Amino acid sequence: MTGLTAPLVATDAELIWQQCLFAFEEPKVIDVAAGCSGLTRTWLDETSWVDYVPRWLSGADLVFAELVAKLPWRQREVTMYDRRVAEPRLTAWWGSTCGAPEPLPVLEEARAALTRHYSRPFDSIGFNLYRNGRDSVAWHADRERYFHEDPVVAILSTGAPRALHVRPKPSQGKGGPSLTWHIGQGDLLVMGGACQHDFEHCVPKAAHVEGPRLSIMFRHNMADWQPPDSGTYNQA
Ligand SMILES: O=C(O)CCC(=O)C(=O)O
């Protein structure tokens, strides 16, 4: 992706997360390995799965507010048909080699918990801010599939819930309806097995949303790779 636009500060009025902003519960993640985490695994086929843990993160509203204020948000450009257009969301990125700790201590805890549970070194974090229902991401599979056979991608959601759909890739010839999870407010969704090879996912535009949503994507073995044109968090 090219055509980086000027740094954005996410101060749009639509970013005021109305529901229970500043409830200020101390941010904390549940130990997914503890057996009482409420984790449900859905098998999409014999080799691909999605794990879901509702309210994995407590204090999600505070995490949302702090990340909106702290991260160097950018709006990238994407190719749609033969045109370059502004990506309908803002993004930022942190990697363990970028010389600064995670923007919030709870993200280090989350990364460590995921690393323990999934036995993968989660070492980079992508942040996506959906300011309103017009922001979205189209059907795609994550690029980790080019680097790892069975990448595990963990998405922690804060802010208002949005639908995330998962469906078989048309190229797989399997067809089949999409499955939907409504994720926000501290929910964790993890895609694993052959999910990035055989399935694709999206967050579609929505006519009605309760507020903005910020997704936090944990990736493993990706610290040396930096997404083009994403704002990198590297403040000590
Ligand atoms: O925001 C989400 O939940 C999904 C984002 C995503 O799939 C991506 O950025 O690759």
pLDDT in tens, 187-236: 999 999 999 999 999 999 999 999 999 999 999 988 777 777 778 888 76
CA angle 171, 177, 183 (to 5 degrees): 105
Residues 6+ apart with CB under 8 A from 134: 88, 205
Cβ–ligand 1 distance for 201 under 6 Å, the answer: yes
Mutate to test the pocket of ligand 1, among 52, 158, 164, 195 (most ligand atoms within 8 A of CB): 164
Residues 6+ apart with CB under 8 A from 65: 17, 21, 22
Mutate to test the pocket of ligand 1, among 143, 155, 167 (most ligand atoms within 8 A of CB): 155
List the end-to-end C-alpha distance of the chain, in Å, as a whole number: 27
For 17-27, write each residue's pLDDT tens digit. Answer: 544 455 567 77
Q: Is 32 among the domain residues? A: no
Q: Is 185 among the domain residues? A: yes
For 131-162, write each residue's pLDDT tens digit. Answer: 999 999 999 998 776 677 789 999 999 999 99
Residues 6+ apart with CB under 8 A from 136: 88, 89, 130, 202, 203, 204, 205, 206
Q: Is 103 among the domain residues? A: yes
* The total number of structural domains that make up the chain: 1
| CB-CB neighbours of 54 under 10 Å | 16
Cβ–ligand 1 distance for 164 under 6 Å, the answer: yes
Closest atom of ligand 1 to 183 CA is 3
Q: Which domain holds residue 121?
A: 38-223
Q: Is 69 among the domain residues? A: yes
For 170-199, write each residue's pLDDT tens digit. Answer: 876 666 789 999 999 999 999 999 999 999
CATH code of the domain covering residue 169: 2.60.120.590
Structural contact between residues 38 and 54, judged by C-beta atoms closer than 8 angstroms = yes
Cβ–ligand 1 distance for 124 under 6 Å, the answer: no
Closest atom of ligand 1 to 201 CA is 7
Q: Is 110 among the domain residues? A: yes
Closest atom of ligand 1 to 164 CA is 3
Q: Is 137 among the domain residues? A: yes
Q: Is 213 among the domain residues? A: yes
Q: Is 16 among the domain residues? A: no
Structural contact between residues 193 and 150, judged by C-beta atoms closer than 8 angstroms = yes
Cβ–ligand 1 distance for 220 under 6 Å, the answer: no
